């Protein structure tokens, strides 16, 4: 197996994919791509409690995908895109792997079709 040179260790990459495995957290990340949001703003579209939103935010924080800053009584969250880039690098390896395999399959199928097609008169 080919080992990828990534900035994240295996447990950190696992945490990123775990965090991305939940639709609520993915939507929170999408919201944060537009700028800072409070915990309340992140919870609002889901009609979930602040406690439930906080659990999702903690999973995102553990993965290094967001950073939370406390200003008085307000908790502001912002996107940290670095771990996403590392996850993309990991996925990109497999994208290239499968693309090359599918290109070979395509070539073989075309060659097979060409052998089966009778020559034109």
Residues 86-120: tens digit of each pLDDT: 888 888 988 888 888 898 899 999 988 888 877 77
Rounded to an integer, what is the distance from CA 56 to the centroid of its chain?
15
Residues 33-87: tens digit of each pLDDT: 999 999 999 999 998 888 999 999 999 999 999 999 999 999 999 999 999 988 8
**Cα–Cα distance measured from residue 74 to residue 36, given in angstroms and rounded to the nearest whole number:** 12
* 72 phi, psi to nearest 5 deg: 65, -120
| Domain limits, the chain | 10-116
**Cα–Cα distance measured from residue 68 to residue 73, given in angstroms and rounded to the nearest whole number:** 12
**Cα–Cα distance measured from residue 15 to residue 20, given in angstroms and rounded to the nearest whole number:** 9
| pTM recorded for the entire structure | 0.71
CATH of domain 10-116: 1.10.10.10
pLDDT given at position 76: 95
Read off the tokens for 80: 């940290």
Please say if the pLDDT value at position 4 is more than 80: no
């Amino acid at each position: 197996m080919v080992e990828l040179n990534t900035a994240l260790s295996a447990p950190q990459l696992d945490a990123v994919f775990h965090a991305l495995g939940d639709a609520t957290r993915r939507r929170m990340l999408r919201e944060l791509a537009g700028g800072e949001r409070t915990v309340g703003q992140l919870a609002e579209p889901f009609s979930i409690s602040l406690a439930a939103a906080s659990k999702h935010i903690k999973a995102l924080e553990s993965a290094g995908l967001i950073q939370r800053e406390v200003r008085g009584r307000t908790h502001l969250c912002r996107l940290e895109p670095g771990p996403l880039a590392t996850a993309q690098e990991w996925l990109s390896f497999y994208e290239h792997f499968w693309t090359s395999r599918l290109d070979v399959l395509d070539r073989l199928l075309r060659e097979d079709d060409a052998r089966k097609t009778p020559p034109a008169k």
